[in-house]
Amino acid sequence: MPTTCSNKTGEGDGKCRGVEADNKIVRKAGDLTNAYVYEVGPGPGGITRSILNASVAELLVVEKDSRFLPGLQMLSDAAPGKLRIVHGDVLTFKVERAFPESLKRQWEDDPPNVHIIGNLPFNVSTPLIIKWLENVSQRDGPFAYGRTQMTLTFQKEVAERLAASPGSKQRSRLSVMAQYLCRVQHAFTIPGRAFVPKPEAESAENCARDQQQQGRNESDVDGSSRLMLVALWNCQVQKVGDDLLRVPHRGY
């Protein structure tokens, strides 16, 4: 049976698209066997359940809405030692302290066995991705472990901006920054009818994975993309040397 869909009151964040859709999102993250996963905005736990079923070593979820905590605790009780729940704000949570130091890799090495997966709340998706891109440039936050891979669900218009090619009307500073630091792929779109209540805008899934080449030049600044519009956003973090981007959250 598909899981029930719900909307976070006041946040415009539709949750829980059903078991098949949740599994599809998690599969896009790749092989999660023995991986350490940081899930953002788990809500009632649809994606959480799919991640746990992927044989992860540990799943850390950060949820701000206390109404979802009892359901998440039930999942934790059913998977002893696998699920850690934090009642907090993803914009301020220090994930660089959350996982074992032994997971850390050099920037030039293969990505660590650490993943970020999440259905980002619409009201914080842009500030959060800007924050993470800044973390990429500084190699801190979630990227203190190395080129941590991200598989994220955004509102469709945000995902389209992240993946926009040069010359397109959706192209923005967000596009340039994301594609300079990551390889962005628009993987698929989850229609609005999959959410209850139906949102005014559809979502997009984007995935982020690390690019294996080192260095960037003007001809490839737009990057090679892997963006999944709920799009699902899959971003591979680039090896771009010591570039540092400091940008405001407005105007994207």
Task: Give 228's pLDDT tier (boundaries 50, 70, 90).
Answer: very low
**Residue 89 assigned to a binding site:** yes
Q: Which residue has the higher pLDDT, 218 or 16?
A: 16
Which of 71, 21, 74 shows the shortest CA–CA distance to 44?
A: 71
Omega before residue 100 within 30° of 0, cis: no
119 belongs to an annotated ligand binding site:
yes
Measured CA to CA, the distance from residue 104 to residue 101 in angstroms comes to 6
More confident residue, 61 or 237: 61
Q: pLDDT class for 119, splitting at 50, 70, 90?
A: confident
Residue with tokens 């080192």: 214
Average pLDDT value for the chain:
78
Query: If you average pLDDT over residues 199-203, what whole number do you get?
Result: 58
Distance CA 225, CA 206 (A): 10
Q: CA-to-CA distance for 239 and 231, rounded, in angstroms? A: 25
CA-atom Rg of the chain in angstroms: 17
Report angle CA 32, 38, 41 to the nearest 5 degrees. 120
Residue-level length of the chain: 252
The model scores a pTM over 0.75: yes
Give the range among 41-55, 88-102, 233-247 with minimum mean pLDDT: 233-247
Please give the full DSSP string across 13-76, using - where no structure is assigned.
Answer: EEE---HHHHHHHHHTT---TT-EEEEE--TTSHHHHHHHTTT-SEEEEEE--GGGHHHHHHHH
| Reported confidence tier of residue 3, pLDDT bands at 50, 70, 90 | very low
Q: Which domains does the chain have, with CATH numbers?
A: 6-237 (3.40.50.150)
Contact criterion met (CB below 8 Å) for 162 and 129: yes
206 pLDDT higher than 90: no
| Residue with the larger pLDDT of the pair 74 and 193 | 74
Omega before residue 112 within 30° of 0, cis: no
Residue 209's pLDDT is: 54
